[in-house]
Structure 1
Amino acid sequence: MLVGYMRVSKADGSQATDLQRDALVEAGVDPEQLYEDQASGKRDDRPGLDACLRALRAGDTLIVWKLDRLGRNLTHLVETVNKLNARGVGFKVLTGQGASIDTATANGRLMFAFFAALAEFERELIVERTQAGLASARARGRHGGRPFKMTAAKLRLAQAAMGKPETKVAELCAELGITRQTLYRHVTPDGQIRPDGERLLSRRNKTA
């Protein structure tokens, strides 16, 4: 069975899923098997996507209009599709940068492997920057003391570090000079940004 997922970033009616819907239906998706969200791709809470992923069964294929409709970022995209593959669910992209991805074909699997390699490369770069940042903090004598507030720079370091299984939360908090409560208010245990973190980055972008 073909299952389609659609997403637009704004929930105020200024954007519509009509283009995505038409393309998915033309690709063979039954309109009753379409799921949608009106939310930013960076948000964790996407009920439409959650329902879509729960509905998929082995032998089904998840189809999206463009690659960026599904994942919050490249790493999240790769993790999601890998989980689908493990369940025997295919994945296909209709247009845009990922139009060559169809995990039911050899070429499509090769293309997705390329994306997975890029995601791994991205993770390694983040780890290197995190380690350099923590080393710099240690060199300046930052080994704890009075906690300071979360900043955009600290948030990025925390996000990268929390995505690594070997990270020790207590040591990370000490290096960044924040409390565990502050850390978890901004970042999830697997390194995803929470709403408080999104607001922090949004304020920084507005003042930049």
Structure 2
Amino acid sequence: MADEGFSAKDLNRPGLADALDRLDRGAADALVAIRLDRLSRSVADFAGLLARAKRKKWRLVLLSPNLDTEDAAGKFTAHVLAAAAEYERDLIGARTREGMAQRRAEGIHVGRPPSLPEGVVARIVDERARGATLRRIAERLTEDGIETARGGATWSTSTIQGVLTSRTAQRLAERNQATNGSTSTT
């Protein structure tokens, strides 16, 4: 059974859960994986699988390299491979975080593209700057039939708060402060 689109970072995958359930019930004798890193990239999770297999009396077999965790050498090798897979996962995560931080430092947007028109964000920023509560802003947008970022019809206070913490809202608020600050001094 395959878990297409799921990471092996943990064991919370529907296909694996189904396979483990069948193994625990005795409906299957062995869990066969192509490689250990396709099964788990966590030493703790892998150790738990080995203990579960022993307790429930089913086998764990890795095809590449050809390992049967029933014998001591196979079990030891599998543990070493699990540690290497976890290390690799941690390195990938660190590189990803560093790359995203670098992109942000360069002023490049990271994450989901903004999906609200800038005019709607500006309206929210302006209403908040004039003292409107999050609830009142949400009510007004809903009353005026303005769609949420995901096309919904009803705005919530948490959505308004999320918009206000966005980079676009922060940029607009800074621009408004600069404009208001320069007009009040002349």
Could you say whether these structures have the same fold, taking a TM-score greater than 0.5 normalized by the shorter chain as the test? no
Considering only CA atoms, is the larger Rg found in Structure 1 or Structure 2? 2
Q: Normalized per residue, which structure has more helix?
A: 2
Tell me the TM-score normalised to structure 1 length: 0.38
Tell me the TM-score normalised to structure 2 length: 0.41
